[in-house]
Chains A and B, each alone.
Chain A
Amino acid sequence: MDEALAKKLRILADAAKYDASCSSSGAPKRTAGKGELGSTTGAGICHAYTPDGRCISLLKILLTNYCLFDCAYCVNRRSSNVSRAKFTVEEVVTLTVEFYKRNYIEGLFLSSGIIKSPDHTMELLTRVAKSLRRDHGFRGYIHLKSIPEASPWLIEEAGLYADRLSINVELPTEKSLETLAPEKNGAVIENAIQQIGERIVEAKAEKRRFSPAGQSTQVIVGADTTTDEALMRKSALLYGSFNLKRVYYSAFSPIPDGSTILPLKSPPLQREHRLYQGDWLLRYYGFTPDDVADATEDGMFALDVDPKLAWALKHRAHFPLDVNRADREWLLRVPGLGARAVDKIIRARRHTRLRLDDVARLTSGLKRARPFLIAADYHPGGGLTDRLDLRARLADPPKQLSLF
């Protein structure tokens, strides 16, 4: 690989890394036919982990980090003084194919700064995906970050080649967008998300290929004053009305050459973690947005207990629950019991009466679960469930999750 290309790769990987999503999941399983290269596995594969603990699944790069927009949180805003570079379509294709052949990656996650016009930029992104599929028989994963300001027909075309299209909401409120991302418009973003959503639903019904792994989005956390509750309600809306597959939460992180209107600070990683937990409660644990809101204090999740535990501590009257009798929906509310553990409990108790030792073999969260459940040989006694210091006993020891 020549040095000029390597230099571009360094700049344009650095410029792309603040996008949280790297997942290669959700595509229908497929394998390479004769003369083809690539497959998808359904759940996706993480090929490496960097010291930030995040997975490298896709080659996540920008086509270019030149950008006409001036979003304060973004390292690539036009007023930033970072080094700039631009790949050609062929260079991105070559990097993807060669990295893929060496089993470094699952595929490509391509995004771009806005150059010339949103349409021009979107066309370039689509050309990369098209060339991979057409000229190289590439069957690996392709995720295109769509440009919401691009004309609808260009987004439609992109969906023919990509496994996943995504558009970043970036900031949860119109007001924050106005202040921090003056060229962006919340309504335009929502329209584009809706358009993609409609096309995905239609294509599924008609058994055609259009962004088969669905669409995802990213919200930046900590750059504005939006509360966790507002973020969760926004996500519930995106999942419900817009049919999104994933909402990613990205703790606003220091960037080289920060903006004058948005001071830099350490990223709120623990908060980000709690938001993901809240998100899971919405998607897999039958929590309504109101339930999740109920797990917050003044709209914010506690940092030392997870949202499910916070909810249970507020609703102790519902507990303890008998693992041998309680409904699935209630077992899902027991802190420390994951959805998979709950399913195992329900399957096993058809054949046997579960004792505490049995439950211990089904979950790794028994310490948190104990005060909230009853087993064949175990009862926490009124005392434990209602103890005033229960929260303190179950809370995470204080620690700084971010650095070392």
Chain B
Amino acid sequence: MREVDPMRSDASSAIALREGADLSGFRAAVRRLAAAGIPPERVIWSVGEAPGLFGAREPETEAPPLALPRGVGDLVTRVVPHRDPERYALLYTLVWRVLHGERRLLEVSSDPLVHRLERMAKAIARDLHKMHAFLRFRRVEGEEPERFVAWFEPDHHILEAAAPFFVGRFRSLHWTILTPEGSARWNTAELTFGPPGRREDAPAEDGFEAGWRDYYESTFNPARTNLAAMRAEMPKKYWRNLPETAAIPGLVRAAATRTETMIERVPRPAIKRDPVRAVAAMADQAPDSLEALNALIRRSEPLVPGATQAVLGEGPPGAAIAFVGEQPGDQEDRQGRPFVGPAGQLLSRAMAEAGIVRADAYLTNAVKHFKFEQRGKRRLHQNPTAGEVSHYRWWLERELDLVAPRLVVALGATAVLALAGRAIPVTRARGPAEFGRGYAGFITVHPSYLLRLPEGAKEEAYAAFVADLRRVGDLARTLAA
């Protein structure tokens, strides 16, 4: 608790702040008053006698900042724009009490002073919110780049507090906001405040206002008319600056009749005939051939970052064996074909050794786009996440349904995840598997895994991979029989 200098306890002070929300002036005054130990009842606050918004303030003696709980500083910032002339006195009383034994005063919302200040802060928040909501820009005709001007009359001194919102929203536009107390201007790079404006300084109309009024009228439901609810949220004082409110009297007058007419009208049979065929055709929208599915995949956006093009599956429909890899790599992405890079070449070699004709098999990937990160000139492969794999799952399922292989081989963990719908460790599940969709399954490693192994381990792993592929070939033959 701050000591009050007994010699000064009967001192008093007159503080003059500038018009509007003089946060810095108030802060400086509070520091001086608190340092001098002057209690709230001995301070006389006045506004407007100090130099105005754009004049210079006379230099004041600096007092050290006060250590106040954060909530107090916040509340001060929020309440200072209030137009109530008592605001500074109330806030200083709050600061004084917080400094003199009631450090956690703000937690007592039931305290009359806290209650009153909170209500003032709420009024400011509402005023800001309404300004953000109800301000309407009009385009200045003929100017390029386009420039917008708005006229608005806030209840409190909030222009400076309200402006950053418009910067964050309309950063790419040139705009000016005029109010009776000042103006704000944004030129796509810098925000400046200037002198008050007049309503006539804003354009008198805008090419989209009629359309906006049309929208306002059309979106109103006469059967739900509730004027009290409208006025509670959009008080009449705002109406004169809102172009759409001109429609209100007409809408209200006609509402009751419109509703009665709707209710009493005898239902009419449809004038148009029932579009039986169109409705039937609608049910049949799923792609019914590989070509249709591929066309759809090709024109869809990649669901992973990177990718210059979709890499589609390759091989004859009706192939006995389908191989599913993870995703296209750098080479595949450039050429637009699956399994043409180093891993693909290794797969081809292993297939040949295992007696599987590559041209007879169907090859595809769980994810149809190359996910990568650009590092200088290199495009570094990134594993697809589980969520991304599920994004692509629908296409894979449909693709395999259309190819209708007898056996589907999952190459590596991502393919397993896509086919089984859950993660299964490949090393443990290696061999025949069940993916639950009308075809037999088989799990083995991805050929790129072999490429990453250290030299000594490569050969053995490759032999095991070829052995897996032999089993795949045998299995496919058994299933055919």
Chain A contact residues, CB within 8 Å of chain B: 1, 5-6, 9-11, 13-14, 16-18, 31-39, 41, 45-56, 59-61, 68, 78-81, 95, 98-99, 101-104, 114, 116-120, 130, 137, 140, 151-153, 156-157, 160, 183, 198-199, 202-203, 205-206, 208, 210, 251, 253-260, 264-267, 269, 344-345, 347-348, 350-352, 354, 357-359, 361-362, 401-404
- Known contacts A13-B219, A45-B132; A51 and B263 CB within 8 A of each other: no
Name the CB-closest residue of B to A261: B267
Provide the residues of chain B in CB contact with A114, threshold 8 Å: 282
| CA gap between A356 and B173 in the complex, in Å | 53
12 contacts between A and B (CB under 8 A): A5-B211, A13-B215, A37-B169, A37-B170, A48-B216, A51-B255, A99-B215, A102-B212, A137-B172, A153-B296, A251-B224, A258-B262
A266 touches B263 (CB 8 A): yes
* Interface-side segment among B44-52, B108-116, B410-418: B108-116
| CA gap between A24 and B98 in the complex, in Å | 39
| CA gap between A152 and B226 in the complex, in Å | 40
Provide the residues of chain A in CB contact with B296, threshold 8 Å: 153
- Known contacts A102-B148, A361-B109; A202 and B219 CB within 8 A of each other: no
Name the CB-closest residue of A to B386: A202
Provide the residues of chain B in CB contact with A59, threshold 8 Å: 215
Name the CB-closest residue of A to B268: A81
Partner of A51, one of B138, B139, B251: B251
B223 touches A253 (CB 8 A): yes
- Known contacts A14-B218, A153-B394, A404-B256; A53 and B109 CB within 8 A of each other: no
- Known contacts A36-B172, A102-B136, A153-B394; A9 and B226 CB within 8 A of each other: no
> A-B pairs with CB below 8 Å: how many?
278
B263 touches A49 (CB 8 A): no
| CA gap between A251 and B212 in the complex, in Å | 26
**B142 on the interface (CB 8 Å rule)?**
no
Name the CB-closest residue of B to A255: B262
**Within the complex, what minimum Cβ distance (angstroms) separates A121 from chain B?**
10
A199 touches B170 (CB 8 A): no
**B259 on the interface (CB 8 Å rule)?**
yes
**Within the complex, what minimum Cβ distance (angstroms) separates B92 from chain A?**
21
A56 touches B219 (CB 8 A): yes
A99 touches B224 (CB 8 A): no
Residues 198-227 of B, flagged 1 when their CB comes within 8 A of A and 0 if not, give 000000001111111011111111111111
- Known contacts A1-B207, A17-B220; A156 and B226 CB within 8 A of each other: no
B394 touches A53 (CB 8 A): no
- Known contacts A32-B169, A119-B285, A257-B265; A152 and B223 CB within 8 A of each other: no
Provide the residues of chain B in CB contact with A152, threshold 8 Å: 394
Name the CB-closest residue of A to B146: A101
- Known contacts A51-B225, A101-B170; A9 and B395 CB within 8 A of each other: no
**B480 on the interface (CB 8 Å rule)?**
no
Max count, chain B CB within 10 A of own CB: residue among A103, A269, A350: A103
A68 touches B275 (CB 8 A): yes
B133 touches A45 (CB 8 A): yes
Chain B contact residues, CB within 8 Å of chain A: 104, 107-112, 115, 129, 132-139, 146, 148, 150, 165, 168-173, 206-212, 214-230, 232-234, 242, 244, 248, 251-252, 255-256, 259, 262-263, 265, 267-272, 274-275, 278-279, 281-282, 285-286, 296, 300-301, 303, 385-388, 390-391, 394-395
Provide the residues of chain A in CB contact with B169, threshold 8 Å: 31-32, 37-39, 103, 140
- Known contacts A152-B394, A362-B109; A53 and B224 CB within 8 A of each other: yes
| CA gap between A114 and B275 in the complex, in Å | 13
B219 touches A60 (CB 8 A): yes
B108 touches A102 (CB 8 A): no
B110 touches A51 (CB 8 A): no
| Chain A interface, DSSP helix/strand/loop, else mixed | loop
**Within the complex, what minimum Cβ distance (angstroms) separates A261 from chain B?**
9
A151 touches B286 (CB 8 A): yes
B109 touches A78 (CB 8 A): no
B300 touches A17 (CB 8 A): no
Name the CB-closest residue of A to B248: A51
Name the CB-closest residue of A to B267: A260
| CA gap between A27 and B395 in the complex, in Å | 29
Provide the residues of chain B in CB contact with A206, threshold 8 Å: 385-388
**Within the complex, what minimum Cβ distance (angstroms) separates A108 from chain B?**
12
| CA gap between A32 and B228 in the complex, in Å | 36
| CA gap between A321 and B328 in the complex, in Å | 66
Provide the residues of chain B in CB contact with A39, threshold 8 Å: 165, 168-169
B171 touches A264 (CB 8 A): no
Provide the residues of chain B in CB contact with A202, threshold 8 Å: 385-387, 390
A99 touches B271 (CB 8 A): no
Partner of B218, one of A9, A53, A118: A9
Provide the residues of chain A in CB contact with B226, threshold 8 Å: 51-53, 269, 401-402
- Known contacts A32-B172, A117-B285; A198 and B390 CB within 8 A of each other: yes
Provide the residues of chain B in CB contact with A267, threshold 8 Å: 223-224
Partner of A153, one of B135, B221, B267, B395: B395
| CA gap between A52 and B233 in the complex, in Å | 12
Provide the residues of chain B in CB contact with A60, threshold 8 Å: 219
| CA gap between A359 and B215 in the complex, in Å | 44
| CA gap between A251 and B221 in the complex, in Å | 12
Name the CB-closest residue of B to A205: B387
Name the CB-closest residue of A to B116: A361
| CA gap between A52 and B218 in the complex, in Å | 12
Provide the residues of chain A in CB contact with B135, threshold 8 Å: 103
**Within the complex, what minimum Cβ distance (angstroms) separates B25 from chain A?**
30
| CA gap between A31 and B163 in the complex, in Å | 13
Provide the residues of chain B in CB contact with A38, threshold 8 Å: 169
Max count, chain A CB within 10 A of own CB: residue among B170, B211, B272, B279: B211
5 smallest A-B Cβ distances: which pairs? A53-B229, A31-B168, A202-B387, A358-B110, A79-B270
| CA gap between A117 and B281 in the complex, in Å | 8
Provide the residues of chain B in CB contact with A32, threshold 8 Å: 168-172
Name the CB-closest residue of A to B218: A13
